[in-house]
Structure 1
């Protein structure tokens, strides 16, 4: 039975206030890094770009989007903590253009001329994957000098997948559009070549396989940029340019017109339930997740501030209580929700999840996974009780489920629990994380402790004296390493999720994600693999 969730949250409690203060501090760190990404190559290179009469990458995106339309930027912190600029010299995200939800992939030419580094490549390929699985028309805003040559060994082979994916989108009748504002050279020349529609800006677009110096070296031929690859040449001679734009704003206007003429239709159903606001204030989400991820919390407090009208139909609430499952809607879209309550997944939780996932597939209902798990329970009695079989049932259900999955890491995502709760390896349509969350094979202290036990046992079995002081140093070093590598910034920098979000934006982000998923067919699996009973 669907009921309006009650809240036991005390916003004047010291624990709540401490949690909120911690969350605000982490969000301040996130905002600082996002500002770094927005700054691109820095004020000097942004000003040089403006002096050339050109728009900055986010100005182009803003003009392309419908007035006041939201833009769900993806992987904003890509390449954080690496030698490359935060954001990886490219902006990707989902936004509405001429009434159509589109994937936007835009080079930032203020960062090394928009050159692609290994993280730019990962970010581009993930954006194309999201476009494919969700059936989103894709708009490329092109101005790039091509590959970052010092890292070519990491780029050349896998970068060919960009062209593969663009042509695959076209073969699936998912429109692809290239708005070429500047350089699109060498391999990058194939981006407008592979797209269904190509728009080029006069005196700015330069599209050629080899520039004048390379042509001179290879053939001895003398030529300039315009006659070799300018917009006018491609519009009048080669035919590569479908639409000749007099300036950047004209190119954006043409791009919007192309989208308006696609006659685009979503294949999934629209919202069918009342999309009223939650009864409980979403601002209070800042104080729910503890500053110490080892402390459990009731995910119903999160659900109550995210779903429509705070309504939730609990499924098996008295059984397998470490996993909350139930039915709700978000912005009018019906959903099933799986949310970890106390971290550990026991056999009951695994079987409960398996049943629930199958029920969602029977009714073509998308699933929201709210992660806060330390993994499946270990120990002699649990192994003898069949935890491996039951965990396998849950992972089987997740792997074979065909309804859209949207995953959000609220606090912790450790071990095989990450897999069972539809982590990255299980292809959720979109996956986000709160900035205070952690992801790793296990917690830092646990992992360091396991390695210490193994070292002690190894010394005993070989008859060596165990060096306790060296072990303590190693243990501290390993713990520090895992703490760093499980940090949300480190995880998102490597694109193990699609971005960090302010907890208060959870309902909005999930709403956009659900709308995006419904651009494609929403249909469940009707048959599963062999379940170990």
Structure 2
């Protein structure tokens, strides 16, 4: 049935919420701009003087005209010593009508060298490609590992090559378009891809460059004879195609995708109907103070087709909203936190709903605004642990694709029950209003204060109240900073922080992507404690 919105966009309350969200979105835009800037004006200018395209320009020429590009993890490395974006661009775009995972080194950032966050970001891209059967196109120009951080890169970095071979073994095509350096360990990227294009007089692919060869063997050799595109096309056979220039390499890349005969394995969507309510209004729904509850149905009504939502068990476990809808023609089951706290009824309701979605092969969308499962004597005695475990068991063993959006709070085991990062949702995005931690900053500081006070009393000491106040302030400040979306996104605990008004578009892209693979529910679940 169609949801009837009670939201008043003209009310002072709505306008206040919207103003706060728009301020957060402005902060988000400023952080995204750091990733868009690459290595900065100096290095961008130097790159252009060499007659080369920027990484984002390469992506734009590769993709179908006017098609979307869902960038992933753009804030990777935020808050670290490395450039925001981690010297690599990853995302999903359409090439010759085929949704592909694009991984593009940004050579304006330390020569495109890989730091620890680059590696983690690349791993995430590989995971998404494998789960959703997306062909992978690597736009290669990298100086290899960032040597000062090699201790954090070398051992785990080998997984990058393993992932390429596993993708190929699963029948998922891998393509390398080499625009410049691809040396040392990086030489194995084209070496392990199914299809390789190298740009004439630009690509340099070798395990050891001329200086290393000289030191190791005493042999004198130049770049071209050691690892140039022409040598690899004519002599070694590593290059399948030699491009005349960068646009030609991108043309050849599109040609390769056109000949893949790639097809989706999931069901096609039905006709799309826009929501009855304006997605623009999503900017004014979440309160700045996350202790203030909001109705997630107002969010659902602005992302679902026709604002239709068939609610499941509406009178039971009312702090969790569950029901069925469509987004861009794709069927979806939705679980959304209404009042923050999850009780036993909500957990049981969620477990049943998840089982039903698996019976009908229906993907699930989790919309977070939860402080976690309820605590206290009454709730412990009524079995909140086993009820929470029931819900987490259902989430962990569900096999239909999961998509998670963190709108507000996502604390404690509620993050797990609502399919947080540890439960491997196909995609997880956050809003700028989101916060996530083991518990709220005040609660965490208060717990530490109580424990310290009890320890002092047990030792017969007088508790220092001034020190306690300072400790609480310090802890609250630290936890608040570590709960914010930029911090979490920088550590790749999500796939990106998005403008709430883009939620329907992002969900449509994600649902289209997950249907590249078969959509099937679980054959069974673990033991449910009743």
Taking the aligned partners of 2:460 and 2:184, their CA distance within structure 1 comes to 62
What is the rounded CA distance, in whole Å, between the counterparts of 1:4 and 1:42 in structure 2?
Answer: 49
Distance 1:517 1:401 in 2: 15
| Matching residue of 1:294 | 291
Mapped pair 1:344 → 2:318:
no
Could you tell me how far apart the structure 2 residues matched to 1:5 and 1:209 are?
61
SS at match of 2:375: coil
Q: How many angstroms apart in 2 are the aligned matches of 1:261 and 1:236? A: 23
1:426 corresponds in structure 2 to 423
Q: How does 1:392-411 map to 2 (within 5 A)?
A: 392-411=389-408
Mapped to 1, the partners of 2:511 and 2:363 lie a distance apart of 8
User: Equivalent residue for 2:85?
Assistant: 87
How far the C-alpha of 1:220 sits from its partner, in A, is 0.3
Q: Work out the CA distance in 2 between the residues paired with 1:188 and 1:351.
A: 49
Q: Which secondary structure does the structure 2 equivalent of 1:416 belong to? A: helix
Deviation digits for residues 428-461 of structure 1 (CA, Å, limit 9, x no counterpart): 0011000121111111111111111111111112
Deviation at 1:526, TM superposition (A): 2.0
1:376 aligns with 2:356: no
Match of 1:508 among 505, 510, 523: 505
1:435 corresponds in structure 2 to 432
One of 509, 518, 521 as aligned partner of 1:521: 518
Distance 2:10 2:103 in 1: 44
CA–CA separation in structure 2 for the residues paired with 1:513 and 1:8: 29
Report the secondary structure of 2:141's partner residue: strand
Q: How far does residue 414 in structure 1 lie from its aligned partner after superposition?
A: 0.5
Partner of 1:256: 254
Instruction: Name the stretch that deviates more: 362-371 or 444-453.
Output: 444-453
Deviations 1:383-439 (A, max 9, x none): 000000000000000000000000000011100000000000101001100012111
1:245 corresponding residue in structure 2: 243
Paired with 1:160 and 1:386, the residues of 2 have a C-alpha distance of: 45
Q: Which runs of 5+ in 1 are unaligned?
A: none
C-alpha distance in structure 1 between counterparts of 2:50 and 2:436, whole Å: 44
Stretches of structure 2 that go unaligned for 5 or more consecutive residues are none
Aligned ranges for residues 130-141 of structure 1 at < 5 Å? 130-141=128-139
C-alpha separation between the residues in 2 aligned to 1:532 and 1:462?
41
Match of 1:268 among 255, 266, 269: 266
Match of 1:145 in 2: 143
- Deviation readout 1:168-189 (Å, 9 max, x if unpaired): 0000000000000000000000
Q: Which residue of 2 aligns with 1:462?
A: 459
1:168 to 154, 166, 175: 166
- Counterpart among 339, 358, 362 of residue 359 in structure 2: 362
Shift of 1:281: 0.6
SS of the equivalent of 1:4 reads coil
The match for 2:125 among 124, 127, 136 is 127
- Partner residue of 2:154 out of 129, 153, 156: 156
Q: So what's the TM-score if we normalise by structure 1?
A: 0.99
Superposition RMSD in Å: 0.6
Residue 59 of structure 1 is matched in structure 2 by: 57
Q: Which aligned segments of 4 or more residues in structure 1 are displaced greater than 3 angstroms?
A: none
Task: Return the offset for 1:491.
Answer: 0.4
Per-residue Cα deviation, 1:237-280 (whole angstroms, up to 9, x for no partner): 000000110100000000000000000011111103x3110000
Deviations, residues 482-526 of structure 1 (Å, cap 9, x unaligned): 000001100000000000111000000000000000000100002
1:5 Cα deviation from its structure 2 partner: 0.5
Separation in 2, partners of 1:375, 1:526: 28
